[in-house]
Structures are given as structure tokens and as C-alpha cells.
Structure 1
């Protein structure tokens, strides 16, 4: 089992590739693409079947990355 740090290393951002959006392992599949598929009801195994070059750890990495992006304090203006 990979640690969170190793999972997050699977998420890459390259200037000019996919609009500099986060991708999986330098490929042209964006984190947002996988999140959209999951949100539409696709199961991880279905995604892996449609994208055989992805691995289960990639989907875990996407979910961890998304969770980390939203785990920040929200400050209210006084």
C-alpha cells in the first residue's frame, strides 16, 4: 500500500500540458476527468477498464488530491 505522499506524487502538473491542470503521471488524463467520471457514477473498475493504462493507485491519488485541495480553512470577512 502506498503512502499518501507517494500517491500524491502520481499527480503531476506540467506547464502547457492540458492547460497546466493536474494530470495523472504526466499523461494527458486530468484529475478533473477522473473526478467527473466518478461523479457520473462510474465505478473505479469501469474507469480502469476504459483506461487500461491507469492503475487503482491513480484513482486513489485523484481522490486524495481532490480532498487535499478542499481541506483548507475558509476565512470570513469581518
Structure 2
């Protein structure tokens, strides 16, 4: 799987920050949660549409 299929940059969403396609989560958010020790399941639980 290519990251280009998952990560998008849209100037009108989240201030143009790289985000996860079809979700209102930025890459910055995910990296922060991972560095804080959250599991993949916990991160997916942050988004109501996951």
C-alpha cells in the first residue's frame, strides 16, 4: 500500500496539514498519539467513522 493512497493534503481541510483520507485526523495527530504510547486500536477509536 502506498502512502499516497492514504495521506492527502487539501488546502481547505485542517489548514492544509497532511491528513488521513476521508477522516478529520492529521498525520501530526497520529504521530503524536503513537509517540504517547497509544495502540493502533486506540487511535482508530478516536475517529467515529473508523
Q: Which bin holds the TM-score, normalised by the shorter protein?
A: 0.7 to 0.9
User: Hey, which bits of structure 1, 4+ residues long, moved more than 6 A?
Assistant: none
TM-score, normalised by the number of residues in structure 2: 0.76
TM-score relative to the length of structure 1: 0.53
| Larger RCO, structure (CA 8 Å, separation 6 or more) | 1
Greater helix share, 1 or 2? 1
Does 2:6 align with 1:15?
A: no
Q: Which runs of 5+ in 1 are unaligned?
A: 55-78
Displacement after TM superposition at 1:52 (Å): 4.2
Query: Would you say how many aligned residue pairs link Structure 1 and Structure 2?
Result: 50
Decide whether the 8 Å contact of 1:12 with 1:26 is kept in 2: no
- Once the two structures are superposed, the pairs formed by residues 1-78 of structure 1 within 5 Å of their partners are 3=1, 5=2, 7-54=3-50
The 3-state SS of whatever aligns with 1:35 is: helix
Larger radius of gyration: 1
Deviations 1:44-73 (A, max 9, x none): 11112232423xxxxxxxxxxxxxxxxxxx
Identify which range, 30-39 or 44-53, moves more after superposition. Answer: 44-53
